[in-house]
Structure 1
């Protein structure tokens, strides 16, 4: 059958197949087999570097006393799985009480940082007042100093207020951070001024503008503030160590240091305590990860 006698449908199908083959061969976004193998090899390498230590700690926390922890290659599946290590940690050190103390401090820090950062960020980005640039300069200057420079003055202030050796003293210096205020202020600047002006014309008060206009547009950035504030307060070690003097009031990080110093020959107990300390961070990130990945790039006006 010649090309002149082919049916029109057959000719169109033949041209479509040829076009698809040509596009597939010249598509610059389609990786070659070697490139695909290299990508997956790099992904596996990154996975092993980042997730490998966590999996080893999790496996170690379930291993029995007779298992070799330092065999190579490491065995990630316990041969004699047991929960005894978690029970022993709770018996020797009140790890769950310490975790509750850390949870109180971290939760309070998240609430105050989110609320105060939204209020301060809105004031810096959307309001006009005298001394605005001076306030902005003071906030930026506090970020230039490392925390170790101001830790002595903070300790004297906390002790002067009578909050030494208390969880209030641990919480107070981290109640608000300049970086969080500036992050929320950046998100507030993305809100069109016409929307805020329209709310003012409609008779909305400042609180109503924050609730119905500002918050729907900055809650993504607020979730970023919440996650990093929680992790920072939960993992803080030096400041609670300086403020707290009674072991009954320790936070988890300080208590874990005590566990590490007293049970260094047995990494199983240390691994079990580490897993207990890791659970709240995983829970918080799992709850807020949707806003964490999408919120920073939010540019549309909501509400």
Structure 2
């Protein structure tokens, strides 16, 4: 097969796969702009006959989705901020600092990766109940504050930092915290961006843990609020699709804007580690 033909075949397959991936999202957006009940027609229309923002107005005016949107933004932002601080500090410590049992502790942490998150939910819930964090924003944030995967990701990247650079800073009298802030953290920027995107997307899309730990409607995050709303408007496909667009659009735009940095961090970590 000629190179030009091979390129055309590969590009055609990629375009076809992209179209299949985008089709559900485009249909979701189309239905969200339809008049109430229009999506229930047979055969289902692909495009709205008269596009309207009525469903979005209903979500924010009557369903109070604005409060849940703010809840998701608060939980995801706070989780990401704390996770970046703790994961980068721990990852750097495991990569460059010498202390007793370092490798043994790190291997034990890696072994925890094989434990499903669902197994730890009940013990974690009981612990939070003992300290009074159930049905609070803090309770929704705690599980994402630090993770083995994040520590592993930062450690693998931090191992590529030359030891001579750190030793030179120590000889000049810099303390470990100053070395981390002024030297190490700027060098970790690619993997920090990757970890930030990964953590934010995970916290924003999380459904199971907020459903368990939050019981008041005013504290619900978007996925939980949307599931609760679907019980009342199970037949209202247009309203549900509008809620899905509001839930998906912010993180989709965030990923599209930062995808270059996200992929660079993953690839650099895999090569340098």
If the length of structure 2 is used for normalisation, what is the TM-score? 0.91
The answer to whether the 8 Å contact 1:60/1:69 transfers is no
1:255 aligns with 2:237: no
Question: Which range moves more in the overlay, 196-205 or 233-242?
Answer: 196-205
CA distance in 1, matches of 2:41, 2:185: 51
Name the structure 1 match of 2:17: 46
Once the two structures are superposed, the pairs formed by residues 218-257 of structure 1 within 5 Å of their partners are: 218-257=188-227
1:209 aligns with 2:179: yes
Question: Which range moves more in the overlay, 35-44 or 129-138?
Answer: 35-44
Name the structure 1 match of 2:84: 114
Name the structure 1 match of 2:142: 172
Name the structure 2 match of 1:32: 4
Q: 1:78 to 1:136 in 2, by over 3 A?
A: same
If the length of structure 1 is used for normalisation, what is the TM-score? 0.82
Q: 1:157 to 1:255 in 2, by over 3 A?
A: same
- Unpaired runs of 5+ residues, structure 2, are none
The answer to whether the 8 Å contact 2:60/2:66 transfers is yes
Q: Give the count of matched residue pairs.
A: 269
SS of 1:291's equivalent?
A: helix
The answer to whether the 8 Å contact 1:187/1:217 transfers is no
CA distance in 1, matches of 2:233, 2:216: 20
CA distance in 1, matches of 2:62, 2:213: 23
CA distance in 1, matches of 2:261, 2:175: 27
1:100 aligns with 2:70: yes
Query: What's the offset of the Cα at 1:195?
Result: 1.6
Name the structure 1 match of 2:97: 127
SS of 1:234's equivalent?
A: helix
Higher helix share: 2
SS of 1:32's equivalent?
A: helix
Name the structure 1 match of 2:119: 149
CA distance in 2, matches of 1:238, 1:65: 30
Query: What's the offset of the Cα at 1:68?
Result: 4.5
CA distance in 2, matches of 1:37, 1:290: 25
The answer to whether the 8 Å contact 2:79/2:145 transfers is yes
Residue from 57, 62, 65 that aligns with 2:33 = 62
Question: Which range moves more in the overlay, 220-229 or 153-162?
Answer: 220-229
Structure label with greater radius of gyration: 1
> What do you get for the CA RMSD once the two structures are aligned?
2.0
The answer to whether the 8 Å contact 1:98/1:251 transfers is yes
- After superposition, the C-alpha distances for 1:139-191 in whole angstroms (9 at most, x for unaligned) are 11221210111110000001101011111111112111111011100010011
Query: What's the offset of the Cα at 1:78?
Result: 2.5
Query: What's the offset of the Cα at 1:255?
Result: 0.5
Using CA pairs under 8 Å that are at least 6 residues apart, name the structure with larger relative contact order, 1 or 2: 2
Name the structure 2 match of 1:195: 165
